[in-house]
């Protein structure tokens, strides 16, 4: 059955935490947000109002089964392409209150980042994207790209430069795009959808489209415009372990007697070549991905870790996460996973 969530507000703008502007600008945005909430009586809104249907793609797996396979050479190729260069507030990306951040003297300010798209090539299943990069006109014509006026005002659009539009990335592939796996449904991950055929399946994590937070009241319209006139989003099912992250679990990973986290995993193609990993916190249904390539395992963290500095110094994300505690737990679990597999190529959400 299709699920569709209706907006309760005409206001469509930016996640409030994404403003790196002056205190006056932040106050003005807060007033706008408060007025809209009072006007509508809303207590929360879905991240997208697009229709969603469950899909049976993949085989529910487990972290130990994934880890038993992941160091073996695999058939998948992963190419990471910079869609756009950008800069946004560091406090949203990195927990500046963490001891390591304080010791390093990190302060808030503009942090250079990239909007990325990952191209996954499977020898029999075809070419897939993980996230969608940047629509070609995002910097030159953000309104034409579907970005609302208030979001344009606060998103540092003058510091965004498209390097490889999604249309160009798709045109370079030797086969049509068989589907898109979304790490989550924020603007900087969905903006390239408009340059994909409407029939391309879009896969999301459990509860991602209908996670109801006040911040979504001000972003879902832009996200829905970027999703466009296409079929329902396809919601992945991880089986009965969906939503569990137990950092203190003691199950053996890969039979090696090493304590493991209870990360919900999904074997997307059923052959152990590409796994989706549920990492809630940044959003309700945030996903990371593990690919087995000929050169070793590749971890795509999504926004479970935004920056290279944060990953390398064991400092998790900042204020952009909906659930700070959940985000910290997911980040820590991925760090432990990578530590157990030192050959893993870790590619964080917004920096090469």
For residue 149, name the pLDDT band (cuts at 50, 70, 90): confident
Backbone phi, then psi, for 330, in 5-degree steps?
-65, -45
> In the chain, what is the straight-line distance between the N-terminal and C-terminal CA atoms, in Å?
40
Predicted confidence (pLDDT) at residue 204 exceeds the cutoff of 60: yes
The full set of domains in the chain, from first to last, is 16-347 (3.60.15.10)
Backbone angles phi, psi at 234, to 5 degrees: -100, 115
Mean pLDDT of 94-102: 98
Q: pTM surpassing 0.85?
A: no
The confidence band for 201, taking pLDDT boundaries of 50, 70 and 90, is: very high
Q: Would you state the pLDDT for residue 47?
A: 53
When pLDDT is averaged across residues 255-274 and rounded to a whole number, the result is: 80
Of 3-7, 261-265, 268-272, least confident by mean pLDDT is: 3-7
Is the dihedral angle over the CA atoms 285, 291, 297, 302 positive or is it negative? negative
Write out the two tokens for 287. 């996903």
Q: pLDDT tens for residues 159-180?
A: 999 999 999 999 999 999 999 9
Least confidently predicted of 19-23, 47-51, 218-222: 19-23
Tokens 């229709």 belong to 51
Instruction: Cite the beta strand spans of the chain per DSSP E.
Output: 45-46, 52-55, 59-60, 77-89, 110-122, 126-130, 161-162, 177-181, 202-204, 212-213, 233-236, 251-252, 259-260, 265-267, 274-278, 287-293, 296-300, 345-347
> In the predicted model, what is the mean pLDDT of residues 330-342?
97
H-assigned helices in the chain: 23-40, 63-69, 90-93, 99-103, 149-154, 166-171, 187-190, 220-227, 308-312, 324-340
- Residue, of 241 and 113, whose pLDDT is higher: 113
Mean pLDDT across the stretch 27-52?
A: 45
More confident residue, 23 or 261: 261
Of 150-154, 229-233, 246-250, which one has max mean pLDDT?
Answer: 229-233
Task: Give the range among 43-47, 83-87, 171-175 with minimum mean pLDDT.
Answer: 43-47
pLDDT at 262: 85
Q: Which pLDDT score is estimated for 129?
A: 98
**Residue appearing with tokens 């390093």:** 104
Across the range 60-70, mean pLDDT stands at 96
């Amino acid at each position: 059955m299709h699920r569709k969530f209706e907006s309760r507000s005409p206001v469509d703008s930016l996640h409030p935490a994404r403003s790196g502007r002056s205190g006056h600008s932040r106050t003005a945005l807060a007033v706008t947000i408060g007025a809209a909430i009072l006007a509508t009586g809303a207590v929360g809104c879905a991240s997208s109002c697009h229709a969603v249907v469950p899909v049976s793609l993949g085989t529910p797996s487990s972290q130990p089964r994934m880890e038993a396979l992941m160091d073996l050479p695999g058939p998948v190729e992963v190419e990471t392409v910079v869609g756009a260069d950008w800069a946004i507030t560091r406090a949203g990306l990195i927990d500046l209150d963490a001891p390591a951040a304080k010791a390093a003297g990190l302060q808030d300010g503009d942090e250079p980042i990239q909007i990325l798209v990952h191209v996954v090539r499977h020898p029999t299943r075809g070419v897939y994207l993980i996230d969608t990069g940047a629509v070609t006109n995002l910097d030159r014509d953000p309104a034409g790209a579907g970005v609302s006026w208030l979001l344009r005002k606060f998103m540092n659009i003058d510091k965004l430069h498209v390097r490889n539009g999604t249309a160009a990335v798709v045109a370079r592939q030797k086969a049509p795009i068989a589907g898109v796996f979304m790490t989550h449904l924020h603007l900087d991950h969905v903006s390239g959808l408009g340059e994909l055929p409407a029939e391309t399946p879009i896969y999301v994590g459990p509860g991602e489209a209908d996670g109801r937070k006040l911040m979504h009241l001000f972003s879902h319209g832009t996200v829905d415009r970027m999703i466009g006139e296409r079929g329902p989003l396809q919601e992945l099912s991880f089986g009965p372990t969906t939503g569990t992250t137990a950092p203190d679990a003691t199950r053996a990973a890969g039979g090696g007697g090493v304590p493991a986290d209870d990360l919900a995993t999904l074997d997307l193609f059923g052959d152990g070549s590409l796994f989706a990993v549920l990492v809630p916190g940044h959003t309700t249904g945030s996903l990371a991905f593990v690919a087995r390539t000929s050169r070793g395992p590749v971890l795509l963290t999504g926004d479970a870790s935004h920056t290279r500095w944060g990953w390398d110094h064991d400092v998790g994300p900042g204020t952009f996460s909906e659930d700070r505690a959940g985000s910290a737990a997911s980040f820590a679990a991925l760090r432990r996973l990578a530590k157990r597999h030192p050959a893993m190529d870790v590619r964080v959400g917004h920096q090469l």
